[in-house]
Amino acid sequence: MAALRALLPVVRRPLRSWPGCAALRPFASEADFKYILTEKKGKGRNVGLIRLNRPKALNALCEGLMAELNQALAAFEADPAVRAIVVTGGEKAFAAGADIKEMQNQTFQDCYSGGFLSHWDQLTRVKKPVIAAVNGYALGGGCELAMMCDIIYAGEKAQFAQPEILLGTIPGAGGTQRLTRAVGKSLAMEMVLTGDRISAQDAKQAGLVSKIFPVDTLVEEAIQCAEKIASNSKLVTAMAKESVNAGGALPRVESGEWRGHWGCFYHRRKVPNSRSQHLSA
């Protein structure tokens, strides 16, 4: 139970209190960004779409792109009309990793004192469901970014890898932990130690990917899934996401206590949604 109490303050931490998000402006249109495109999609415009947009660099994750991504996520999180978010890239690459050119001149002291990659995981703190629509390469930081999302949909030609070892380093944005939880120790160890890529089909078989679609329909399928999620209770959706994530991070006994925590919440507060009546049917 102690681990549960320790986790709650992090889960409840407002998005605007995160590093780099102190001076957020209201929702920005795609014209405000250099490295990403944003728009609202769906029949009710209740799905926020974020498209990584550095095609010449295969969407390599530079600091500017990550700052804009975090800003767009925070804006969609604060927008009451948006109920779910889709993050995607281009047909050739979701994101081909971190921007090596940007990193190559940084010393260990620069990275340590500057909080290197400290703001990369802000996506995991978004309370609204986030779907990654992955076409092409999802390598290194790109694979890690996809794994930070709640659901991964992949195009038929998508490829996933953690090739950092080929550059003399290891995944630095949670890849070793998230990949192990997603596909199991053996495959995760093989991917991390060899740098080998796996196909969308292998990723689905291993549990990393939820569904596979043709390249040209992938994003629309992700938006349709987001719309379906958005049709449910906003509160219960947030509770469900939080519970699943906590269950994957806590020991089995304490994850059971977490489920009990939400069960007590339901019985004491009664979720304000007409669908709750079906539970007593």
Tokens 């999620």 correspond to 229
Tokens 């975090």 correspond to 70
68 a catalytic residue: no
Q: Which of 68, 77, 164, 221 is catalytic?
A: 164
Q: Which of 98, 146, 203, 246 is catalytic?
A: 98
Name 159's bridge partners: 137, 199
164 a catalytic residue: yes
State phi, psi for 117 to the nearest 5 degrees. Answer: 65, 10
Q: Which of 77, 144, 227, 242 is catalytic?
A: 144
**How far is residue 132's CA from residue 52's CA, in Å, rounded to a whole number?**
11
144 a catalytic residue: yes
Tokens 């192990």 correspond to 180
Which residues lie below 8 Å from residue 196, measured CB to CB, with a gap of 6+? 161, 190
User: What are the respective helix, strand and coil percentages of the chain, to the nearest 5?
Assistant: 55, 15, 30
Q: Which of 89, 141, 142, 155 is catalytic?
A: 141
State phi, psi for 136 to the nearest 5 degrees. Answer: 70, -140
How many beta carbons lie within 10 A of that of residue 88, not counting itself? 25
Tokens 């390469």 correspond to 137
Query: Pairing state of beta strands 130-134 and 151-155?
Result: parallel
263 a catalytic residue: no
273: left (phi over 0), alpha (psi -120 to 50) or beta: beta
**How far is residue 92's CA from residue 142's CA, in Å, rounded to a whole number?**
13
Name 102's bridge partners: none
**How far is residue 122's CA from residue 69's CA, in Å, rounded to a whole number?**
9
Catalytic annotation, residues: 98, 141, 144, 164
